[in-house]
Structure 1
Amino acid sequence: MTFRDLHFTDLPLLLPNAWDVASALGFVAAGFPAVGTTSFGVNASTGHPDAEGASRDATVELVRKLRSLSAYVSADIEDGYSDDPGEVASFVAGLGVSGVNIEDSAGGKLIDPAILAAKIAAIKDAAPDVFINARIDSYWFHEDDTVPAVLDRAKAYVDAGADGIFVPGATEPATLEELAEGIPLPLNVLIVPGLSLAELGNLGVRRVSTGSLPYRVAIDAAVGVAIALRDGGEVASATSYAESQQRLLDFAKRADRA
């Protein structure tokens, strides 16, 4: 089954988003067939705010390491790290990933959809096998956050050659259903509290991303362990050191053979 095929199974594809090798290994060990990266997690782990382009080098290094995984890898590349479609296309072609997320915002605001459409067309020409998930940030930034406006943007990206449409921040069932009906490509959303994968699938959603949630939960859990130890509370159980070490040893062997 290809990465594209995973978007057309009975349930929506649940794509967990990793921020380093260890988190990706944990997702693969849990049986996930594909892993994405999270620009927020990658940025935060290196001390940078999100969506300012600082994740470029760290993302390149991370996906280079993840190529040996027994899972598909999709990279969050923010806005492509350049305004030049040719530069973005060359960057994506050199990543060696199964898919990318690329967004239509910069500096916390929407950009002209023609800009992202040009990048999508260039990527599709340079790397036709890469699944391009075009991210529409209308609901994320509460700007032009209506179904008709989002569908207009989606049409531009569909016409340019996108393979999927990602609408983070859209959570209302009626909105999701309208978007799924109006977009002829797999609709991707972030997890929606209170709605299961099956329920999202019934609304027409084909892919659900965890986004930065696992990273933020992991930070909270780490702080919680320290607080529990300090205050005499109960410490949560965790994967053993031996198992965690073995994952890394196995990963290193695969990377050496790759």
Structure 2
Amino acid sequence: MNERCAAFHALHHTGRPLLLPNAWDHASAAAYAARGYRAVGTTSLGVAAAAGLPDAAAATRAENVRLARALRGLPVLLTVDVEAGCADDPAAVADLAAELAALGVVGINIEDGRGDGALDPPELAAAKVAAVKAAVPDLFVNARTDTWWLGVPDPLPETLRRARQYRNAGADGIFVPQAPDAGTIAALVAGIDAPLNVLHQPGGPTLDELRALGVARVSTGSLLFRVALGAALDALDAVRSGAALHPEPPSYAGVQRLSGESRP
């Protein structure tokens, strides 16, 4: 296994959750790197919205590759959210994964949720995972199931069933967003033989609580992108009303320096 991929795999086995901030452009990823985050993910909503495209509609293949190319010089381990692989054909999904890996990407997030609110058959999602692992064995494949997100009745047994299939297909981690409470998260950790990734939920369990539950990775998802958009609107309202800006934004010079954060 190549050194960077091995380092990313190892971050899921430290005994404490990997806090993964999700970026949507070079500036956001560079800012996370400057704060000392060793690994960064992308947010499919942020990448899609920044390009004027819908999320979860297989419309962002080119944007994912473009962003991976832009971020390849940053001193971070990059994992890319490819939605459901931007294709139904497992071979096409594997081609995208291989293209990203050639740009230095160490992981992908691949989901079974569809833009129409349905779930892919687990056999199809598992075939995508298997195709990616056959093409790029070192890549960390984080298989996401949207059973809670899309409102599957009695989601816990269906989540565990899908997790087993994805794990058997070669998935390195399982991502279950919107698991509703600590008891459910504990049941997922106990029932899934792979590092468990959850989505940070404001007001939900803290990082320390998630560590105690055995969670391996905590993603911010689209939260930081939405917070940034909200802060821009708040600043615009403050300009219009004459109010002070709170908090003080990063300086022009500070943002300018982010483009110099790339490694040689």
TM-score range, shorter chain: over 0.9
Cα deviation per residue 1:61-118 (whole Å; 9 max; x = unaligned)?
Answer: 0011111111100000001111111111111011121000001122221111000111
Aligned to 2:3: none
Residue identity opposite 1:103 in structure 2: E
Aligned to 1:21: 26
- Does 142-151 or 88-97 show the bigger shift? 142-151
Cα deviation per residue 1:197-248 (whole Å; 9 max; x = unaligned)?
Answer: 1101111211000000000000010111111111121212022111211221
Distance 1:221 1:145 in 2: 37
Aligned to 2:94: 89
Residue identity opposite 2:172 in structure 1: D
Distance 1:112 1:134 in 2: 14
Aligned to 1:212: 222
CA shift, 1:194, in A, is: 3.4
Distance 2:113 2:249 in 1: 38
TM-score (structure 1 length as normaliser): 0.95
The 4+ residue runs of structure 1 with deviation greater than 2 A are: none
Aligned to 1:79: 84
Structure 1's 145 and 28: CA in aligned 2 closer, same or farther, altered over 3 A?
A: farther
**Cα pair 1:12 1:205 within 8 Å, conserved:** yes
Are 2:203 and 1:198 aligned? no
* Unpaired segments ≥5 residues, structure 2: 1-5
Distance 2:218 2:179 in 1: 12
CA shift, 1:10, in A, is: 3.3
Select the residue among 53, 57, 65 that pairs with 1:60. Answer: 65
- Does 136-145 or 205-214 show the bigger shift? 136-145
TM-score (structure 2 length as normaliser): 0.93
Aligned to 1:242: 253
**Which of 1 and 2 has higher RCO (CA within 8 Å, sep 6+)?**
2
**Cα pair 2:74 2:261 within 8 Å, conserved:** no
Aligned to 2:12, what secondary structure does the other structure show? Answer: helix
Structure 1's 250 and 199: CA in aligned 2 closer, same or farther, altered over 3 A?
A: closer
**Cα pair 2:106 2:140 within 8 Å, conserved:** yes
Cα deviation per residue 1:136-187 (whole Å; 9 max; x = unaligned)?
Answer: 0000111145211110000000100000000011131110000000001000
Distance 2:121 2:111 in 1: 11
**Cα pair 1:105 1:137 within 8 Å, conserved:** yes
